[in-house]
Structures are given as structure tokens and as C-alpha cells.
Structure 1
Amino acid sequence: MNIYPVILCGGSGTRLWPMSRGGYPKQYLKLTGENTLVQQTALRLRNISDIAAPIVVTNNEQRFLVAEQLREVAVNPSSIVLEPVGRNTAPAIAVAALLAMHESPEALLLVLPSDHVILNEATFTKVAEAAAQIAKDNYLVTFGIEPTEPHTGYGYIRGGAPLADGATAYSVEAFVEKPNAETAERFLKEGGYHWNSGMFMLKASTYMEELRRYEPEIAKQAEQSLQFAKRDHDFIRLDADAFGACPSVSVDYAVMERTDHAAVIAAADLGWNDIGSWTALAEIAKPDAAGNALLGDVLTEAVSNSYIRAEHRMVAAIGLDNIVIVETADAVLVAHRDKAQDVKKIVERLNASGRQESVTHRRVVRPWGSYEGIDQGDRFQVKRIIVNPAAQLSLQMHHHRAEHWIVVKGTALVTNGDQEIMLTENQSTYIPLGVTHRLLNPGKIPLELIEVQSGAYLGEDDIVRFEDTYGRVAKL
């Protein structure tokens, strides 16, 4: 019995803005410990019996981000599948099922969102192994979280008959959409209901059989998208035409709500939270005597029951109660805890006005390292660039800007027109407009430099690439 974990790395990054952004959603953030949420998801698989290397499903923009974060915690995925467009969970799981079945016809899939918190990993291991025993008998098992309050933000599952005497797994009588407060209260009083966690243990072949029965077009296009996929370094690029033709449908609607094979296993005491808002994150943080969770450089006076997080500078708060404050380099959120879920309305307004604060941070991750904006004005901007050891930027040129590079740490091998020069700390070079250039870090420590750009246009799309280690297109 082989269990193939499937880590789903989607998400638009709206609910935990301003830390989570469209290009850097919450699974890549260190919100509850030393590791990011996707790292926590991968690491909690370690103690499950018969576990294989994970299959990761993400998109093209986040491919190097997820690969680097898994490398940092020594997790080597069996595949990183790149979706050309988002098509919800049913097609993504179908592709993973087909990949797993290539390895083992009896493969089981442990499907996990990458952005959930589970505090009790030993309990998770037991539940996953119990779910595997059920799934091998062709049940499609969803993990049901025992409700602790009449929560209106989750879907519910009503369990039916137990699958065995004394078992904590049941047939599924119904999937229920997010209820209103009165209905959620009734569910809690009646018992027999569980929150729908979005985690599953599925026999891959059974899932595909049911998908072909209820959503045959998804099954067909998923198969074709994998059949015509291309290998790109460590990534599997699904065929864009075939995958784009998949209906965008969740696994719940496509299969779980319609199949006769659905089961729910009660997952008690997991310490599970999908961190759907800053309020949810505040609820799992350790409060001080005043009920506050204070992270970073925070000073308070007469503040209670609040979540205050400083990422880059000191935050001072006075005379507040039940407030969320989150500070980042380029944006600060201040909200009442009861209204924290409405942050998505701010993101919608940012998107409507074309502002980048909903999409990227001031620090932008690239496959070779990162860059961070420091200052900008009319016809100039200043960036701090970090290049990882042995990494290099593309061989490129710009039509509208010149650049000055000043090394502040490490060693740089610079291609500047027909010259190749080595720079160390406090040395610099000037790259005129229109000159072909490249930056490489030949050392064993990160290279850090200050870049000063000047010109009539300073946008990131003023790049013509001639050679690129990372397979990016010639023009962006």
C-alpha cells in the first residue's frame, strides 16, 4: 500500500493581506513558527507509514518559490506539476492520480492544501494511516474536523452509518454548504456533523473511475494535459490547451457530493486551522496576560485582546481593544478583529486601481535570489539585489535604462558588453543603456549589491533576454 501525498499550492493571497499577496500567497509565509506553511505541510508527512515523495501542484509563477522552500527543509518532491491556468481542485487531483498510478496501480492519494495549520502532528499521522486502511477498500475519504463552535465559515459534512463497529469513519449522508449562524448552532447541538477540512485520502483508480462517471470532460482533458506535458528541469508543464479545456470544478462538487463511495473520518484533536483570516491566526497565537499576541518590534500601552505584527519597523499602539495590526515594508493593515475577513474588499480595490501592493511585496523573489526596492523617484530607482551562490541572472539588455552595480557583500562575475570582470566588496560597474550584460555569483555565500537604475522607463518588462538558466521567455 503506497500513499502518495498531493500538496496543492494554489491560492490568490487575499485573506491575509498585506503579508499574503497574489504572487506570494500565505503558504510561503512563516506565520506560525520557523517554517512556512508549505514546509510544515511537507514535514508533517515524515512519520506516516508507506509514504512516498510528495507530488506538488502549483503554477508557473510560483515554481521556483515552492522548489526552493522544499529544498530548504530537505524535502525532494517526486514531481512539481505546473498548471498553465487555475482550474480548481478536481483537475489538479486528477493529474496527480494519473501520475501516482504510473508508479503503482493501487496508489492512494493523501490530498493536502498547502496552507493549513495542524498543531498535533502525531494525531494527524494516526488519522492519515487510519484513513488509508479505509481508502484501500475503494472509499473516497474526507477528513472531518469535529466542530468546536457554530462556525459559519466552513462547509459541513453529515455522517451516516459507521463503517465498522467502534469506528470513527462513517458513510457520508450529505455535504452542506456554509450555514448561517442559526443553522450552525443546530448542527452543533444535534451532533454528527463535521467541518469539511479539504483534506482527503483517495484511491487513485477509484477517484478516476468516479471522475469519468460524473465529470468525464475533466478526466479526458486531465489525461491529455499529462500525455502532452513537457519536462522542464524538475517541473512537469501540463499542456496548456488540454488543461485549459478542463471545467473549473472543485473535487467536492465533481465527485465527493455525488459518489456512493464517500466516507468521512473524524479527525479530533488535530489542532487544525485553515487560517482563513487574521482573526483565525490570532486565535491560535499564544496570548499574553492582556490577551494580546505581539510579534516583532511592538510596544503597547493599555492594549488588550489584539493581534499586532511588525515585520520591518517598530509598531506602537495605545488604548486599543480587539484590533488587528499587521505591518509590512510597503503596507499596514489596521482592522477590528470582527471585521478582519473584510480585508478582501481592500484587495479588490487595490486590484481595481491597478496597484501592485495586492500582487507583490517590496521584496520580490526570483529563481536566482531576490530584489527589494529601496528608493525611487523621477527617472531613477534603487534596489538591493541578492544572488544565491552559483546562481546567475539571464543574459539581457534594456532599451530604456542604464544601471550602476555596487557590490556590498560577496563576489560578482559580471558580463558587461564584451568584457567579463570580477567585482568584490566596495567595487562597482556601470552598464550603459542597450548593452548586453549578466550577473553571476561564483562564490559560496550570497552576493549582495545595490543597483541604481536611471532612465526614461524603469518597468520590469523592459528586459530582453538572450540566454536564461530558468527557461523564461525572451521578452517579458
Structure 2
Amino acid sequence: MTHPITPVVLCGGMGSRLWPMSRVEQPKQFQPTLGKGSLTYFQATLQRHRGPDFAQPIVVTNAGQAALVHRQLDEIQLQGRVIGEPVGRNTGPAVLAAALCAQRDDPEAMILVLPSDHMIKGDINRIIRAMHRAAEDGRIISFGVHPTYPETGYGYITDGGPVPDYPGLHQVAQFVEKPGHDHAQRLIQAGGVFWASGISLMRAETLIEEFRRLDPFTHAAVLGALDAAELRTLGIILDEASFRQAANEPTERQVFERTPAIALAPLHGVQWDDVGAWNAVYQVSDRDGDGNVLHGDVIAMNTRNSLVQSETRLVAVIGMQDTVVIDTPDAVLVTRRSNSQDVKQLVDRLKASQRREVRTHMTREMPWGRIETVSTDMGNDMRIMTVQKKASLQVNGTGLGPSLLTVLSGEGRCLIDGREVTVRRGQTVAIDPDEALPLSNPTDSDLKLVHLVFRGGTDIGGPGCEPMLVASDRLPEAI
């Protein structure tokens, strides 16, 4: 290989069938693959394509998740460019935006498009390296997986025969998008068919020119969104007005199914799964002698062929079979493995009820640290805020009721009545509903605070009260 490959990692979507691990604000790709303490799906994807053959990655994600992306990059000591999408427009515009960025850095850029939430075992990079020359010569290579059952949630690619002079490369006879069960069964029985993995390799210039030719309107919209992008510390945020004009379509439909440059590279010897449901997690995981997959503090008695996962506490199961138990601090899922696909219907019901548990976890990673909700009562919240060293933030009022910040440990600085005030252990700051409190941690250790959020029904602070400091020699007994 003469030119390094730039991984383009796509981080969109929620992965609703993996609730309660996956949430709207902390979706599947940012959750650990094998329970607490393991690499996340996103991190595993980055690690898989890291080394002398690869350049620094480009990550395309929801603009609101840019901070989470950077945190997870930092955890594995990896740099990368982050492109924030102001609105979701499917994979086509996302891949095009990344290709345009890559080409601006390097006119000869080679990109490897990667979903961020798949599990892969085997030497996939060996096959990718073997396809490098074909991509250099203008081919768009889609990697296919040998199907093991008639999955109706995947797209299929039928083999059109070998491409001369490129060992391992095949023509594409047809794309079949998510066939019904009987159709999928017939495709597999006929042979010469592969699941579309969502992984593809090409020169950035090749993809850009095909977008320009096949969908000039989307090409212009994404180019305009990039030219007018907002540069931030955490990356660039595409211009929303321009990006909204792009077609809301996958790359396959916009380009792959319509270009003569497309080719197929089978991933022989590679185990792949997009892990779209809990049964899929079970299928790709290592099992014990009873056929169980156990993650976290779990005890299983007389239990077989089950997936049991705990994040924070002991979970004990007795007499279970073919069952999924997923325990998180604020929600527990219990279902049969055969009903894993039905979790999406449960999530739809939770969304209709506007349940917080479908939107966010109790602990949220932020650019400046993290927030953990430890108690909720009558709509009022108690949160633990950890502000990292040298970080700063703005604590906004709720608009409905006052809030209080009490320092547990460390030292912070906030702006009260136009002057900078130092706050230490045991001191409390009251924040009016319509005010915002600038807060920073100038020290080399974490600043930890309790944030009490009242949404009405209390006189704390009073109407129109500015942020104020309440001094105390020790922490309140109630905390």
C-alpha cells in the first residue's frame, strides 16, 4: 500500500432494540461491547483500523454528541476530526461530507467507510489491504458477508462474477434491499449472495465525483454546509440550512446502486454482525459451559442459553432459559431471546409516554465532566456534577424553579453580581430560574458538586433572585 487509508466512522442512530443500554442521548455505539469497563462499539471500530496502514479517523456524528466522541477518542489515546450533523440526513450526506473534508486535506485521500456499531472477528484488514489497488484505480468496493440465515433486516448483494486482474474482487449483479423472509431464503439457496456489511472503500475523489454526477443537488447542499460550517473546539458543525437541503438517503441508494464503479469484496474468514438486537449480542459473544453470556456482577443458577448483564449491582437469576436480562441503574429489561426484536415496540411506547429512561441514562458524559442523577422526586432532581480540572461550564436556570449548587470537594470559581467568587467545600450557590451561572475549575483536581434542581413548589431563591452565595462551615447534614 502506498497511501494510508482514512477511516470514516459513522455514529448516527439510536439502536433502539438494545434498550436500556442504548438511549437517544447515549446510543448503542457509545456503550460497552462486553459490559462495564470494556471498549465501546465505537472504540472497538477505531481500534480495529489503527496502525501504519491508516490515517487519523474522521467521525461523523450528531452535533450534540461531539463531546462524547472526543471523550471516547481520548480514552484510547487517539486523535481524529469530528464532523457534527445539525440534523440527520442518513448515511449519504454524512459520507459525502467526510469525503469532502478528506479530499481538502489530501487530494489523493482514500476513505474506508465504517458503521460504528458492528462486531467483527477475523483479519478484515487483510482483505481491505488487498482491495487497495482496485480502489486506487477508481473502484468503489462494498464488502459483503456470507449469509448464515435469511435475515430480513439486511441488504443483500448478488455476485456478478470475478473482476479480471483484481484477485478477490467481484462484479455486482444486483442490490436487494431488505427482502422478505421467503425472498431472502431463495437468494441464499441460489448461492452467490452476500449481506451488505455497510463497509466500503474508495478514493474520496471517486465518491465526490459520483455524487456530483448522480445527485448534484445533494452534492451542492453538502458542499455549502461544509463551506459555511461553524468551527468549534470539538470539531466542525455543518451549516443546518444548507445540510437540510441534502437528500435524506443512504449512500447505497444515492450512489452504489447507480454507479458502474461499484464492486464486491467478500469478507471470507471474517465473522460479522451488526448487533441490532439482544439476541445478536448473545450470538456473537463467548458463552460458558451452560451456554450463558454473563457480564458484570451476575450469579446464574440452573440457567441456560441466556444473556444476563449488570452495570452496577448484583443480579441473580434462577431457573431461566433462552432469556435476556439487562440491568441498568434506572431500568431493567427481561425478555425471551426470541422476542428481542420487540424491544423496539417497547421503546416506541416509552417515547409516546415521554419517559426519561428512553432519552438518557442516569449518568451523562459532558465536555467538561459528567452529571449523575441520583434522585428524582415530584419532578425535582438531585445530581452529582463532576467538573474536570481546568474545565468550565455554564449552569443554566431551569426556567421553572430555582436550583442550588453545593460544593462537595475541590474548589471552583463562579461569577456572581459581576465579580468572580471562589467556592469551596460546604458552600452553596443559589441560581434563579431565569439566570445562568458561569462556573470553572481552575485547579488540577476534580471539582464535585451537588446540584439540586427544583421545578416549582419551593421558595428557595425567590422570584427574580440573582445567583447568590450561601456560606457554610460544613456540608449540610442532609447531603
Normalising by structure 1, report the TM-score: 0.89
| Letter of the 2:70 counterpart | A
For 1:314 and 1:194, locate their aligned partners in 2 and report how far apart those are by CA, in whole Å: 42
CA distance in 2, matches of 1:291, 1:414: 55
Q: Tell me which residue corresponds to 1:52.
A: 55
Q: Is the 8 A contact 1:394 1:465 kept in 2?
A: no
Quote the RMSD (CA, aligned, Å): 2.5
Q: Which residue matches 1:470?
A: none
Contact 2:30 2:40 in 1 (8 A): yes
Q: Which is further off, 361-370 or 195-204?
A: 361-370
The alpha-carbon deviation at position 89 of structure 1 amounts to 1.0
Say whether the 8 Å CA contact 2:6–2:112 is kept in structure 1: yes
Q: Which residue of 1 aligns with 2:64?
A: 61
Provide Cα deviations, 1:284-341, integer angstroms capped at 9, x if missing partner.
Answer: 2221111111112222222111101111222222222111111111111111101101
**Matched residue SS, 1:151:** coil
Give the equivalent residue in structure 1 for 2:110: 108
Assess if the C-alpha contact under 8 Å between 2:409 and 2:424 holds in 1.
Answer: no
Where 1:394 maps in the other structure, the secondary structure is strand
Greater shift after overlay, 19-28 or 184-193? 184-193
Distance 1:214 1:13, change over 3 A: same
Letter in 1 for 2:101: L
Provide Cα deviations, 1:388-424, integer angstroms capped at 9, x if missing partner.
Answer: 1211221655654444444334333344444612414
Query: Aligned residues, how many?
Result: 456
In 2: Cα distance, 1:27 partner to 1:220 partner: 30
In 2 relative to 1, CA 321–442 (structure 1 residues): closer, same or farther, beyond 3 Å? same
How many Å separate the matches in 2 of 1:104 and 1:447?
Answer: 42
The one-character-per-residue Cα deviations of 1:109-134 (angstroms, maximum 9, x if unpaired) are 110111112223xx122122122221
CA distance in 2, matches of 1:154, 1:48: 32
| In 1: Cα distance, 2:16 partner to 2:378 partner | 31
Paired residue for 2:316? Answer: 316
Q: Is the 8 A contact 2:278 2:324 kept in 1?
A: yes
Report the CA distance between 1:166 and its aligned residue.
Answer: 7.9
Alignment check: 8 A CA contact 1:298 1:315 kept: yes
Say whether residues 1:35 and 2:34 are aligned partners. Answer: no
Equivalent in 23, 26, 29 of residue 24 of structure 1 = 26
Partners of 1:354 and 1:36 in 2: CA distance: 27
Provide the C-alpha distance between the structure 2 equivalents of 1:321 and 1:443, rounded to a whole number of angstroms: 52
Deviations 1:227-280 (A, max 9, x none): 222212241121211110111011111111111111011112222221111110
- Are 2:275 and 1:272 equivalent residues in the alignment? no
Q: Secondary structure at the match of 1:18?
A: coil
The change in CA–CA distance for 1:211 and 1:271 in structure 2 (over 3 A counts) is same
TM-score normalised by length of structure 2: 0.89
Contact 2:171 2:264 in 1 (8 A): yes
The answer to whether the 8 A contact 2:86-2:237 is kept is yes
Q: How does 1:231-270 map to 2 (within 5 A)?
A: 231-270=231-270
Q: Closer, same or farther in 2 for the Cα pair 1:292/1:104, shift >3 Å?
A: same
Closer/same/farther in 2, CA of residues 194 and 408 from structure 1, 3 Å limit: same
Shift of 1:381: 2.7
In structure 1, the residue corresponding to 2:255 is in which secondary structure?
helix
Alignment-derived partner of residue 10 in structure 2:
8
Q: Which runs of 5+ in 2 are unaligned?
A: 468-479
2:301: which partner in 1?
301
User: What does 1:348-363 correspond to in 2, within 5 Å?
Assistant: 348-363=348-363
Larger deviation: 413-422 or 228-237?
Answer: 413-422
Equivalent pair of 1:48/1:125 in contact (CA under 8 Å) = no
User: d(CA) in 2 for partners of 1:183 and 1:403?
Assistant: 58
Where does residue 214 of structure 2 map in the other structure? 214
Corresponding residue number in structure 1 for 2:473:
none
- Equivalence map 1:2-401=2 (5 Å): 2-32=4-34, 34-47=38-51, 49=53, 51-77=54-80, 79-120=81-122, 123-164=123-164, 167-378=167-378, 380-394=380-394, 396-397=396-397, 400-401=400-401
CA displacement at 1:282 relative to structure 2: 0.7
1:431 is matched with 430
Q: 1:262 to 1:419 in 2, by over 3 A?
A: closer
* Distance (Å, rounded) in 2 between the aligned partners of 1:69 and 1:447: 21
Task: Give, in angstroms, the shift of residue 369 of structure 1.
Answer: 1.4
Give how far 1:2 is off.
Answer: 4.1
What is the CA-CA distance between 1:178 and the residue it aligns to?
A: 2.2
Q: CA deviation at 1:445?
A: 3.1
Tell me the secondary structure at the aligned position of residue 372 of structure 1: strand
Percent identity over the alignment is 36
Quote the offset at 1:87 in angstroms: 0.6
Which residue of structure 1 aligns with residue 471 of structure 2? Answer: none
Query: What is the deviation of 1:199?
Result: 0.5
Is contact 1:13–1:24 with CA below 8 Å preserved after alignment? no
Counterpart of 2:60 in structure 1: which amino acid? Answer: V
CA contact (8 A) 1:364 1:372 kept: yes
CA distance in 1: counterparts of 2:466 and 2:127, whole angstroms: 49
| Letter in structure 1 aligned against 2:6 | Y
